[in-house]
Amino acid sequence: MKGQLVFEFVIAAFILFGIILFSINNLASYMNLYHTNYLSNFQEGRAMQISEILLNDPKTGIVDEWPVLNEAKMGYFNTTCSSDYINLLMNFSMIEDLPYPSLHHMRVIVNATDGQVFVRCGREPPSNITTATVTRFGFIPPPTDKVAIIEVRVW
């Protein structure tokens, strides 16, 4: 039987290739799920990072001391956002490498519980994009004397 294919060898080779193809197909189908979960966790982390900077850092954020928001700092943040959005994204590490191969966007809204808007920063996310949203609360001192809702959205 030298030099001849044995029937058992052919069956074993087909089974081996079948197992390999099944494994590759199974891994490829789960890679999309893992990639989607990774992006979702990444976006949630960025949204939480931005909210922490805004609400816990008196130098670069919009607070004097948590949970007291500063209206002057909110106005400055709003102006900076509308005039220099790309630089603001760079300060929040939303642009990873220049010239912008990985650019993430954000939207920060601070409004009082009665609907008065103090900050409207960033762009409106497209409807077909998954976003991560972090909602926090703060207090705007007198004379305004209102509870504020801070929403940070990243995509």
Each residue's pLDDT tens digit, 55-106: 998 888 999 888 899 999 999 999 999 999 888 888 888 876 655 556 788 9
| Of the candidates 44, 112, 64, 53, the residue with the CA atom closest to the CA atom of residue 88 | 53
pTM of the model: 0.75
Q: How far apart are alpha carbons 136 and 150 in whole angstroms?
A: 5
Each residue's pLDDT tens digit, 9-50: 889 999 999 999 999 999 988 998 888 888 889 899 999 999
Q: How far apart are alpha carbons 106 and 96 in whole angstroms?
A: 14
Q: Is the peptide bond before 99 cis (omega within 30 degrees of 0)?
A: yes
